[in-house]
Structure 1
Amino acid sequence: MANQSQENLEKKSSSSSAVVVVVVPFPSQSHLNQLFNLSHIISSHDIPVHYVGSTLHNAQVKSRANQALNDTKKMIQFHDFPIPHFQSPLPNDIKFPSHLMPSFEATIKHLQQPFYDILTMLSKTATRVVVIHDPLMNSVVQDSSTFPNTESYQFHCVSPLYHFTYVRDILGVQIGHDADNKYANIPSLEKSITSEFEAFVAYQDQFVNQHIIKTSGHLYNTCRLLESTFLDFMLEMNRESDENVKMWAIGPLKTVTSFKNRSPNRVNGEHKCLEWLDKQESNSVLYISFGTTTFMKDEQIRELAVGLEKSGVKFLWVLRDADKGNVFDEGEVRRPQLPQGFEDRVKEKGIVVRDWAPQLEILGHSSTGGFMSHCGWNSCLESISLGVPIAAWSMHSDQPINAVLMTDLLKIGVVIREWAKKDELVSSSVVEEFVKRLMKSEEGNEVRKRAEELGYELRKATAQGGVSRLELDSFIAHITRS
């Protein structure tokens, strides 16, 4: 595949192009997906896009893409490199998934030279090569500054609030003038990431801190309607090191907002759960999913199942194991255990999905009235954009901070498990209580109303003339400038 990718690149390089974009995502599903969505948007402006990754991870993001993106992925040039991957064991912790770190590091280590070769080829014929990369891939793109016609931009797959929290924890910087300000409840990162991952981040940061990479700007997958305070804070921090640095808040990406209330007319190959949703009443279903890097122990799964059953609320539960290094590996798979007879007893009320499910289509469906989530940034943005309130159950990394944004600051969700009690079992009675609060109470109706109103405003923000669309247009104009 590597030779084929190089041959295709050489053919396309025989004719010059004013601007080409090279996208380098971090090899974790939510990061891969966000930069794939961005690639789709940029390519729709008739700008050639080259998506650089391992053969495995490129196949992963394409296989999990929603149908609308799959129909247009041929517009993007994928560069697949057969990189050795660590076969991770089944996870045994709910902190940052350290079982995946060897796979991440193997990919990153082996991508630097292929990336350099691609840049060498493209820089010969393009007037400008625009590199858009995940900050966790700084070591891969470290040579980008050695090419005079190349510019480097960081695409942040996490919230600016997370970056503010990181700076606050390291430097002691605050927003506000007293300890009782509305941001005081944002938890520390101390217990949400492992020392191993913290060291990895520090290693990647050094390429910018030591000016090995000259960053021309920052792209955030967020909207000023949500996080203007934190965006302004990050811009000020960035300008302390480079007064000319630029920043664009271009989220939520239009590829997300387009899924609100799509036509119920199904096409061949769409997931069976969508047919089930078609038969349910408006806002009656609680969607439950904890992402790709998170798992629950069987004891907690049983409590969650019992609480759902007692609540009497309709639900669609995606119950699958966390990703391993190779998501296509058909070896040992941990199959989460439900209480005996559970699925038979709730078959009139709920459906359990054991494989990959189309989250955007589910959240955009009119029957979906709530989302029990780990609060990964991808899931949060999708939930907000499509007007679905959150039942927050954060696990690790940026998730506890995102949960505070959703529930305390934006007030479009409820907290099922407080981060301070992360090591405690959530009982079935607590699950029942909070599910009913979100789905069957006046409080829940008010939260849902706020979520729907905010979702409407965010969808306007990505439409022609909206604040996020204007920033996206500004970025496109900037990279294609004469």
Structure 2
Amino acid sequence: MTTTMPELSTVDVVMVVVPFPAQGHLNQLLHFCHFVCSYDIPVHFIGSITHNRQVRSRLHGWNPVAFPNLQFHDFPIPAYAVPPPDPHSSIKFPSHLQPAFDAALLHLRPHLSLLIKSLSGITTRVIVVHDSLMSFAANLSADLSNVESYAFHSVSAFATLLFQWESRGIMMEQSMKICPNVPVVSSDGCFTSDFVEFVKRQHKLTAAGNGRIINTCRPIEAKFIDLFAKEPNLQNKPLFAIGPLNPVTLEEHDKVEDVNLNLVPRKRHECLRWLDKQPESSVIYISFGTTSTLCCRQINELSAGLDRSQMKFLWVPREADKGDIFEGECFSSSVSEDEATNKKSSAVSTLATKGKGIVLRGWAPQLEILGHPAVGCFMTHCGWNSCIESMSFGVPMAAWPLHSEQPRCAVLVTEILRVGIPVRDWGRRDEIVTAENIESVIKRLMLSSEGNEVRSRAKSLGSSIRQATFDGGDSKKEFESFISHICRP
């Protein structure tokens, strides 16, 4: 599909996209490339061999093969040691991935610099869109007159604002002014100290750019988008709120890429066939993303809570990603692999044999699951990808934040938009969430009048979000404005 815009100039424009090497970030920027390519703009997607393979193999909703103007640059990165995830760590942030983040910053730089310089010599204008955590890319192009850089924010405007305000020491004052009845969540417990320093180094470079892009939309957080646009470090540069970038309608393709990036006939996932047999809005979908690992005790409590609720479920009890997801499974170093596997598998398998649900090992087609009418609730870690995908399909959330922006996204979901109910109290994050609490939240969402109201708000918000992406909608107009801006004479 190619989008035509007669008002665009014929200026020769090419785009370079630089994602942060974590699944949630990679996924959003690859979806972004889909939209840009539909305007016949050549796009160069930059990454390591492993991470490019990862994001392509996990993509749902569209097929990159359909866009010959999308080119992946698989740059080599020397081997580096990555420890296994530790589910018993007091801070749940995936510190085991820090070596992968550091390696990408160090080793992608020379390859990216050469590519940008090469393209700038043969193209009227080069547009570099980089994750806000990869802001070194803006500096690489600062001395080239025909290169522009735009920072891409992969979390909500609400969470981004809180991070900005906290860094300037005004979070409490601003939060009380803007959202007086909403809990104020600091970043304590959200990140490791190493990652905080990593972020600070990158954010110091962000201001050098030509504008910002954020994966959100006005139906979700118009007030916070407007506030973010006025932040001093944007320096009056344009802000484009173009979300959601995930597909909001699911297209069928005759062929897809398998994990080895070969074209194979498309097969509908087995879990979708199971969902076909379930009543509407009767199933709880449970997934905690790609960077989180629950400890054995917490998995046992979750299993017991699901069992007590007597609700249908689809659970994806996966381990956190390693630096290279294709090397196989890994488990906490605090116990042997066999012991960890057996403990977790036992609790989950016992629950699955009772016939109330299915347990899905490996990668799940989340967009298709959330878009299925049988799904009535999403128990989620509240990563922004999962939040905006769930909202896009009008599915209410049981909010269980674990790290990063997730506690603030959970506040947005449960306190501001009121399209979810909290499972995990962030103030008691060091405690195990009990089976009783899990059962209570599930029943509140699925069986009570309170849950009916939450579901109604979620459904209404989903409709507004989808409308925003269609012709004439706010997000569609924002994306067209961005394309017009970068293609201006």
With normalisation by structure 2, the TM-score equals 0.89
Aligned to 2:7: none
**Matching residue within 189, 198, 203 for 2:187:** 189
Q: Distance in 2 between matches of 1:241 and 1:222?
A: 17
Aligned to 2:354: 346
Give the 5 Å matches for 1:362-441. 362-441=369-448
**Matching residue within 216, 234, 244 for 1:252:** 244
Q: Is the 8 A contact 2:132 2:206 kept in 1?
A: no
Deviations 1:130-170 (A, max 9, x none): 00000111124421111110000011101111121112222
The offset of 1:342, in angstroms, is 1.4
**Matching residue within 357, 360, 364 for 2:367:** 360
Q: Distance in 1 between matches of 2:472 and 2:26?
A: 28
Going from structure 1 to structure 2, the CA distance change for 1:50 and 1:346 (only over 3 Å counts) comes to same
Aligned to 2:464: 457
Q: Distance in 1 between matches of 2:282 and 2:218?
A: 31
Q: Is the 8 A contact 2:319 2:330 kept in 1?
A: no
Q: Distance in 2 between matches of 1:342 and 1:134?
A: 42
Give the 5 Å matches for 1:213-362. 214-238=208-232, 242-243=235-236, 245-253=237-245, 255-259=246-250, 268-330=266-328, 332-333=330-331, 335=341, 336-339=344-347, 342-343=350-351, 345-347=353-355, 349-362=356-369
Deviations 1:206-264 (A, max 9, x none): 2235xxxx3111001001122222222221114x6623x111100112x421239x89x
Aligned to 2:156: 159
Local SS of the residue matching 2:240: strand
**Matching residue within 78, 85, 98 for 1:101:** 98
Select between 161-170 and 148-157 the one with higher mean Cα deviation.
161-170
Matched, 1:89 2:86: no
Q: Distance in 2 between matches of 1:434 and 1:441?
A: 10
Note the residue ranges of structure 1 that are not aligned, 5 or more in a row: 1-15
The offset of 1:68, in angstroms, is 1.9
Letter in 2 for 1:155: F
Deviations 1:418-457 (A, max 9, x none): 1001011111111111111111222111111110100000
Q: Distance in 1 between matches of 2:412 and 2:184?
A: 8
The offset of 1:271, in angstroms, is 1.7
Query: Structure 1 vs Structure 2: percent identity of aligned residues?
Result: 45
Local SS of the residue matching 1:89: coil
Going from structure 1 to structure 2, the CA distance change for 1:181 and 1:380 (only over 3 Å counts) comes to closer
Note the residue ranges of structure 2 that are not aligned, 5 or more in a row: 1-9, 257-264, 332-336
Deviations 1:350-378 (A, max 9, x none): 00011100100000111111000000000
The offset of 1:29, in angstroms, is 0.2
Letter in 2 for 1:455: G
Going from structure 1 to structure 2, the CA distance change for 1:183 and 1:131 (only over 3 Å counts) comes to farther
Higher-RCO chain (CA-CA 8 Å, sequence separation at least 6): 2
Local SS of the residue matching 1:282: coil
Q: Is the 8 A contact 2:61 2:367 kept in 1?
A: no
Letter in 2 for 1:116: S
The offset of 1:332, in angstroms, is 4.1
With normalisation by structure 1, the TM-score equals 0.90
Aligned to 1:11: none
Number of residue pairs matched? Answer: 456
Letter in 2 for 1:377: W
The offset of 1:481, in angstroms, is 1.0
Letter in 2 for 1:144: S
Q: Distance in 2 between matches of 1:139 and 1:183?
A: 38
Going from structure 1 to structure 2, the CA distance change for 1:183 and 1:135 (only over 3 Å counts) comes to farther
Q: Is the 8 A contact 2:131 2:151 kept in 1?
A: yes
